Copies of this chain bind each other. A is one copy, B any other.
Amino acid sequence: MALELLRSVPLFAGLEEEVLAEVAAWARPRHLGREEVLFRAGDPFRGFFVVCSGHIQLSRLASTGQEKVVELIGPKETFAEAVLFLDQPSYPVEARGLAPTELLELPAEPFNRLLDERPHLTRNLLGTVSRRVHRLVQDVAALTLQDATGRVVGYLLARADQAGQEGGRVSLPVKKAAVASRLGVQPETFSRVLARLREAGAIEVERERIRLRDPDRLAQFLP
């Protein structure tokens, strides 16, 4: 049920039940198949989204055909909220499903009105967008201050923290090429880095499951 899910989304944390219900009433369920495009860069803004299950890839395309994955979005995460407030509301990236994915679409207009009535929601939204700024700044720094190995190690350690899985088990959310692009690396390089970490005894790789067998040794690969 939509309401159930919304409650666990940080953006809606701490909201009164009635507000939550109102949001849920507006939310439009959407399904997205594997490799299916939700919107393209430049499309006019209609609303933003909450992921219920599955994974979304936000990417930017170069004129050469290359693409860079800007972000990978998983369950209970929102995306495109910041587009609401741009002067020219059009999506700056492309969104595509990486697997069969269930979404909720939150249309711009009713949400916009709700913001004016509910300061708490607005405050949450500012927090969400601000965290995104923070993460992007980290990404920019990582892309210039760290080499490929450093970025991969940083990603693994961050994911181990966040997932909180004991024993340092990390599982890549999507196919490796997408993670590689997210980290600003070619798939081949990503594979080679993992191989080197494995040979060094820092990790064990089995399919998309990675065990951080020696986090300290792993951390030594950071610049």
Contact = CB atoms under 8 A, between A and B. Distances in A.
Interface stretch (A126-134, A168-176, A194-202): A126-134
A interface secondary structure, majority: helix
A133 B136 contact: yes
Nearest to A184: B144
A143 B183 CA distance: 11
| Complex copy number for this chain | 2
A66 B143 CA distance: 13
A140 B139 contact: yes
Interface string A111-137: 000011001001101110111111011
Given A136-B133, A137-B70, A146 B86 contact: no
A7 interface: no
B60 A129 contact: no
Interface residue tally of chain A, by bracket?
A: 35 or more
B86 A145 contact: no
Task: Report the 4 A-B pairs with minimum CB-CB distance, sorted nearest first.
Answer: A136-B136, A85-B130, A82-B130, A60-B141
28 contacts: A60-B141, A62-B223, A64-B145, A66-B145, A68-B140, A68-B141, A70-B141, A82-B129, A82-B133, A82-B134, A85-B126, A85-B130, A85-B131, A86-B134, A87-B127, A93-B137, A119-B119, A126-B126, A129-B129, A132-B133, A133-B133, A133-B136, A136-B136, A136-B139, A136-B140, A139-B140, A143-B184, A144-B184
